[in-house]
Amino acid sequence: MKPAPFEYFVPEAADEALALMAEHGLEARPLAGGQSLVPLINMRMAQPGVLIDLNRCAEFAYLREDGDALVSGPMTRQRELELSPIVRRHCPLIAKAMPHMGHATIRNRGTAGGSLSHADPSAELPGVAVAMDAELIAGGPNGRRAIPATEFYLAELTTALEPEEMLCEIRFPKATENSRASFAEVGSHFGGLAIVGVAGQVEISASGHCNKVALAATGAGERPMRLTSAEALLTGQVLDERIIPDAAEAAAADVEPLEDLHASAHWRRRAVVAMTAQALREIASQGVG
């Protein structure tokens, strides 16, 4: 038996889960899909005293439209985000990123809330949330509060959630009709955690000009980072080969990559440039208006 003992609760209602979090505070971890937490528990790199299993909280698993947002519960499975027609239609960037996240078997269990809360700097979904200006709704002893994705990620594996708080909802703004999206990444093998990724969503007018540009990189710092210089350079311009190389090069200044086992900081910075160019080219190839 590999995991150390823990106390196990399996609430069936969201309020009950939040009350358990408030009661057990620092000692407790929510258990979502378990695809990041259980490996840590098996290796005893994590030894939570209390696990609050959210898998029977039906209230936490949903996906619906709400005005100009697509709203997901924290326990919505990644596999559902990948296959859902409303995601494909309203948030194509999510649908494009999902197949890069592990494997189908992992996505069967892995959840939206688990990936976003785990805050692995190389993970795709946090990068997508930051690029899309998603809003993360935290719930805790003092009720609910909305945290912009751009303020949610503080450092590696560290979010703005307080110990007693849980991520209770994710609100992704719907992309407009003329938005185009792409997710480009580079890693050692297919389905493995990427080294560097770039999420892009660009609103292109009928005349081919970029009205609104959103780009974010993963694996290029302690948290997902917006590529603001590249965004500024592209806004109002026609997205084609005259500008793509310069915009990609500008992205190099927007990231703060760290060196690790997988790649040097320099390599990661160059990978951001290459992946930005790849994502932009794929977006340009999707046509305008």
Ligand X SMILES: Cc1cc2nc3c(=O)[nH]c(=O)nc-3n(C[C@H](O)[C@H](O)[C@H](O)COP(=O)(O)OP(=O)(O)OC[C@H]3O[C@@H](n4cnc5c(N)ncnc54)[C@H](O)[C@@H]3O)c2cc1C
The residues binding another protein (CB under 8 A) are 1-10, 34-35, 38-39, 42-43, 51, 53, 55, 79, 99, 102-106, 108-109, 189-191
Residue 137 lies near ligand X (rule: CB under 6 A): no
What one-character DSSP code corresponds to residue 4?
A: P
Question: Which one of residues 72, 76, 117, 276 is an interface residue with ligand X (CB under 6 A)?
Answer: 117
Residue 114 lies near ligand X (rule: CB under 6 A): yes
What one-character DSSP code corresponds to residue 162?
A: -
123 is in the binding site of which of another protein, ligand X, none (Cβ under 5 to 8 A by kind)? Answer: ligand X
**In sequence order, what are the residues at sequence separation of 6 or more whose Cβ sits closer than 8 angstroms to the Cβ of residue 74?**
32, 54, 60, 111, 112, 113, 114, 116, 117, 166, 167, 168, 169, 170
Nearest residue to the partner ligand X, using Cβ: 114
43 is in the binding site of which of ligand X, another protein, none (Cβ under 5 to 8 A by kind)? Answer: another protein
Residue 50 lies near ligand X (rule: CB under 6 A): no
117 is in the binding site of which of another protein, ligand X, none (Cβ under 5 to 8 A by kind)? Answer: ligand X
Q: What is the CB-side half-sphere exposure of residue 144 using CA atoms within 13 A?
A: 10
Q: Please state the closest distance from residue 181 (CB atom) to another protein, in A.
A: 20
**In sequence order, what are the residues at sequence separation of 6 or more whose Cβ sits closer than 8 angstroms to the Cβ of residue 261?**
none
Q: Please state the closest distance from residue 233 (CB atom) to another protein, in A.
A: 35
If the CB atoms of residues 115 and 276 are measured against ligand X, the closer one turns out to be: 115
- How far apart, in whole angstroms, are the C-alpha atoms of residue 83 and residue 100? 13
Question: Which one of residues 136, 181, 193, 273 is an interface residue with ligand X (CB under 6 A)?
Answer: 193
Using CB under 6 A, list all residues that contact ligand X.
Answer: 29-37, 74, 101-102, 106, 110-111, 113-115, 117-118, 120, 123-124, 161, 166-167, 193
